Amino acid sequence: MLSEWIYEVRFPDTSRRSEITVIGRAAWASKQLVQRGRRGCSPVSEPTGPRWSSYIYTLRRADFSNETIHESHRGDFPGRHARYVLTESVTLQRVEASANDPQA
User: CA 38, 36, 41 angle in degrees (round to 5)?
Assistant: 85
Domain boundaries, the chain: 2-94
Query: What is d(CA 44, CA 14) in angstroms, rounded to the nearest whole number?
Result: 32
pLDDT digits (tens, 9 = 90+) for 48-81: 767 889 999 999 998 888 999 999 988 888 899 8
Q: What's the average model confidence in pLDDT over 15-41?
A: 86
Residue 56: name the closest of 16, 79, 46 by CA: 46
Query: What is d(CA 4, CA 102) in angstroms, rounded to the nearest whole number?
Result: 13
Mean pLDDT of the chain: 82
Give the global pTM.
0.77
Which residue intervals of the chain are DSSP H helices? 24-36, 52-61
